[in-house]
């Protein structure tokens, strides 16, 4: 079984800083895929079952609605700090996502106010700062090259150093999670949906450089997120515009899934984002982000045991053309996601109503909620 990567505990000073695609940035019938051989799970890391005792007192202190809220990552208007404060204060969401290029939320005491509104459990503050055409703090600290340019002009160690400096700058502004690096494989046109966001079409090269970038972020206490499982690089189009299809699963195992073969090459605390992809032989028409088979593939075949996020459930037509937001969020949680994400904010109430009702009826089992909460809370360092 593949090596397990768990979410890292957050650093201290939670009172003033957060803890820590372009992603605005179902009946389960398939049997588990065969276990690959030749790799070993990292048994030195506890499983969620082992963590659950440490998180039980925190989970027990939350109301059902607060438990549901802690699993959500909601986009905020980067120009409206007051709205971000109100979202966290009134709903106690577990994470916010800052997806635009404006910098108002990074100035003054805006994010400190957001953290104060969160109360005892800090809120994660995420951006998708990859470099190239997907970066969020370049107006404050300067630009960063695209992944493709990094791999062409820098050594992995130089990429690690660059990411570490970028991570320190992120922490300075209150950012705790970066939805990067991309581990998708492609040598397609630079302006394609993945394009120059990919380090390489070669699995080994892409893995080496992505691991270096992720390690640099981790060195600075920013949690990296590798994406978009199980691989968007050779999909048939842009999932922002509609559901796209990848090569069959057997083919993905030989290429696009190679960056997930040994998750131990990434630093402890690395998280995974699941894309909105139709994979023949795995999901067969359903988006991976809403597919139990996809999460089972990641957990069982690739041995990953940390928090799993979805790609944007609100602003990407691969989802929004077919599902309402509250429906998509619930389906993602039922399938195995720990943190459903949507970038376009709005009224969180209907989503929380839908989740809370499903928890009450048993459509979203208590064990599934506690499993996800354990991963999310442990990543914030609030358990134990």
Q: How far apart are CA 132 and CA 296, in angstroms?
A: 33
CB-CB neighbours of 133 under 10 Å: 12
Angle CA(44)–CA(308)–CA(21) in degrees, nearest 5? 130
DSSP string over 110-163: HHHHHHHHHTTSPPEEEE---BTTB-SSHHHH-----HHHHHHHS-HHHHHHHH
Choose, from 196, 240, 276, 305, the residue flagged as catalytic.
240
- Other CB atoms within a 10 A radius of the CB of residue 377 amount to 26
How many beta carbons lie within 10 A of that of residue 196, not counting itself?
A: 26
Instruction: Give strand pairing partners of 225.
Output: 271
The answer to whether the beta carbons of residues 172 and 166 sit under 8 Å apart is no
Strand partners, 75: 97
| Exposure b/e, 64-82, CB count within 10 A at least 16 = b | ebbbbbbbbbbbbbbebbe
Nearest to 207 by CA among 260, 154, 145, 268: 260
Catalytic residue among 129, 311, 326, 378: 311
Q: Which residues contact 114 (CB under 8 A, 6 or more apart)?
A: 18, 81, 84, 85, 88, 96, 105, 123, 125, 174
Q: Is residue 311 annotated as part of the catalytic site, yes or no? A: yes
Q: Longest Cα pair distance anywhere in the chain, in angstroms?
A: 55
The packing angle between helices 325-335 and 366-379, to 10°, is 90
Active site residue 240: yes
Q: Which residues are catalytic?
A: 240, 311
């Amino acid at each position: 079984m593949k090596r397990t990567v768990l979410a890292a505990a957050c650093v201290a000073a939670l009172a003033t800083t957060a803890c820590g695609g372009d992603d605005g940035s179902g009946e389960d019938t398939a049997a588990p895929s065969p276990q690959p051989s030749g790799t070993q799970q990292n048994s030195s890391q506890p499983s969620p079952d082992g963590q659950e005792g440490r998180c039980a007192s925190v989970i027990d202190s939350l109301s059902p609605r607060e438990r549901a809220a802690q699993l959500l990552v909601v986009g905020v208007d980067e120009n409206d700090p007051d709205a971000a404060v109100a979202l966290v204060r009134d709903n106690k969401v577990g994470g916010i996502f800052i997806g635009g290029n404006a910098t108002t939320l990074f100035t003054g005491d805006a994010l400190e106010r957001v953290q104060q509104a969160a109360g005892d459990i800090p809120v994660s503050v995420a951006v998708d700062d990859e470099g190239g055409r997907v970066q969020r703090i370049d107006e404050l600290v300067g630009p960063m090259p695209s992944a493709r340019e990094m791999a062409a002009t820098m050594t992995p160690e130089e990429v690690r150093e660059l990411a570490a400096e970028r991570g320190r700058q992120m922490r300075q502004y209150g950012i705790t999670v970066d939805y990067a690096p991309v581990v998708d494989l492609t040598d397609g046109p630079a302006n394609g949906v993945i394009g120059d966001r990919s380090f390489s079409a070669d699995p080994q090269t892409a893995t080496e450089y992505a691991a270096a970038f992720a390690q640099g972020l981790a060195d600075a206490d920013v949690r990296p997120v590798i994406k978009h499982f199980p691989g968007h690089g050779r999909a048939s189009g842009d999932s922002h515009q509609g559901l796209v299809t990848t090569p069959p699963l057997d083919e993905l195992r030989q290429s696009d899934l190679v960056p997930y073969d040994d998750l131990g090459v990434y630093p402890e605390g690395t998280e995974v984002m699941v894309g909105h992809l139709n994979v023949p032989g795995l999901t067969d028409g359903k988006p991976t982000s809403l597919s139990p088979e996809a999460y089972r593939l990641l957990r069982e075949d690739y041995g990953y045991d940390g928090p799993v996020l979805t790609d944007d459930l609100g602003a990407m037509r691969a989802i929004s053309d077919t599902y309402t937001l509250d429906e998509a969020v619930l389906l993602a949680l039922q399938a195995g996601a720990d943190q459903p994400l949507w970038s376009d904010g709005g009224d969180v109430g209907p989503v929380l109503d839908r989740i809370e009702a499903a928890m009450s009826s048993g459509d979203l089992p208590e064990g599934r909620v506690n499993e996800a909460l354990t991963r999310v809370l442990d990543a914030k360092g609030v358990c134990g």
